[in-house]
Amino acid sequence: MVATPTDLSYLTAAEVGKLFRSRELSPVDLTRAHLERIDALQPRLKAFVTVTADIALHEARVAEAALLRGDDRPLLGVPVAYKDLYMTAGVRTTAGSLVHEHWTPEITATTVDKLHDAGMVMLGKLTTHEFASGMTPLDHPLPPARNPWNTDRVPGGSSSGSGAALAAGLTVGALGTDTGGSIRNPGTYCGIAALKPTYGRCSRHGVFTLSWSLDHTGPMARTCDDLALMLNAMAGHDAKDPASARVPTEDFTATLGAGISGLKIGVLRSWYEPDTATAVTAAVDTAYRVLKDLGAIVTDVEIPNVSLAASISAIMMPEAYAYHAADLAETPEKYAPQLRARLASGGLYLADEYVSAQRARQILKQDVAELLKDVDLLVTPTAAKTAPGFDTAYAEAMRRGPSYTGLFNMTGLPALSVPCGFDETGMPIGLQIAGRPFAEATVLRAGHAYEQAAGWHARHPEL
């Protein structure tokens, strides 16, 4: 049996399952180890809003009994935690805001229910930027999470606690949400694997809204293997989500090990390279060579109207304002000042600006669809730079640099971030891999092949 909490911290779901079934490890022991590690590191990392220790231990005992009966669910007994935008009946759900600081919902998000049905053990609720949008002030009663690689740096947002908890070995799996990059940005900043599935692939029922037409839910883990296992459990049509797609589910693990020989990969170099840090460009260039060595056909490609991706704000912010308008009017003091101003700005967009942005979105979707007739996947860095310090992030929050993630929210395509190196300060760099609609299996296959060849996922911060 594995001996200490530290030894257990970075096991994958696949490894955990083998240890459970060989009786070398029990769900109760694994859960206790994670709870001990959370207790030790939470004061430094602030990754959790709420730790549900009693629930976790109860669910772990239920999982242990099921294993003894021969239950073979792959995720049975595996620890998971949820971004605090996911509603959990009977458990406080804050959305990172004083507006809901003490709110306990009566419903549970569909995806949380699905992972519970898969046998996963809930450790708690994870820190999020306020309402998945505002940079939470350091002195906020619900403080921001810290990056385990350097606690003076941000972990990325808005699924900040999810990224931090995974990088620190506080959970095996996590859920995040992604409206403009909020799953993949913590993925790159924290050096983990993070997937935004196709729009409509996973239900958003029971999850706080930022932007109805851009919001996605998705899994976060440390390997593509674990992402695939979680996606198996959480994907599927949900009548409670109006945007949920009626697309058959599949086994996303089935082709993970099939390799990528002959796969056509398009590099959007001319789009990202002018604004990308030298260390990031070097890391992704090295990643492209690894993909070529694995047999992929890697070529530079262009999207004719890629600049239209910048119109995402003219869609996101009016929709966010519409969602928050009543609370902004009734309890403006409960919003952090920066977020209050940001949301209020959404009410200043004109109808023709919103409609024009939606028209630009359709042009962009057509351009990308045409390009994906010639290549199977598109790759970019996940972010132009590595994680900034808190001081820089707060100063630049309203004038952020280029985004390479929002393109795939605008088009609704599946997009993955996997670690592909480190910069000169020791901070992680991410490679973004995107594919055709509902081609998560191909995206994950490429990510898995790369991560196994490159090995960056096996590096962890010293804590």
pLDDT of the chain along its 463 residues, tens only? 333 455 799 999 999 999 999 999 999 999 999 999 999 999 999 999 999 999 999 999 999 999 999 999 999 999 999 999 999 999 999 999 999 999 999 999 999 999 999 999 999 999 999 999 988 999 999 999 999 999 999 999 999 999 999 999 999 999 999 999 999 999 999 999 999 999 999 999 999 999 999 999 999 999 999 999 999 999 999 999 999 999 999 999 999 999 999 999 999 999 999 999 999 999 999 999 999 999 999 999 999 999 999 999 999 999 999 999 999 999 999 999 999 999 999 999 999 999 999 999 999 999 999 999 999 999 999 999 999 999 888 877 655 668 999 999 999 999 999 999 999 999 999 999 999 999 999 999 999 999 999 999 999 999 9
- Strand-pairing partners, residue 300, are 267
Q: 377-381 and 173-178 as β-strands: parallel, antiparallel, unpaired?
A: unpaired
Is 202 in contact with 217 (CB distance < 8 Å)?
yes
Beta strands in 2-63 (DSSP E): 48-51
Position 134 scores a pLDDT of 80
Amino acid at 19: L
Position 76 scores a pLDDT of 98
Return d(Cα 441, Cα 446) in angstroms, integer: 9
* Dihedral angle, C-alpha 434, 435, 439, 443, nearest 10 °: -50
Name the active-site residue from 97, 182, 244, 417: 182
Q: Which secondary structure element, helix H or strand E, spans residue 247, and what is its range?
A: none
- Active site (annotated) includes residue 182: yes
Name the active-site residue from 9, 26, 46, 83: 83
Among residues 237, 14, 244, 31, the alpha carbon closest in space to that of 121 is found at 31
Q: Which residues have C-beta within 8 Å of that of residue 347, sequence separation ≥ 6?
A: 318, 321, 325
Position 3 scores a pLDDT of 39
Return d(Cα 13, Cα 120) in angstroms, integer: 10
Report residue 1 as tokens. 């049996």
- Active site (annotated) includes residue 83: yes
Name the active-site residue from 9, 97, 133, 158: 158
Interhelix angle 224-234/440-454, rounded to 10 degrees, is 160
Per DSSP, 360 falls in state: H
- CA 85 remoteness from chain centre: 13
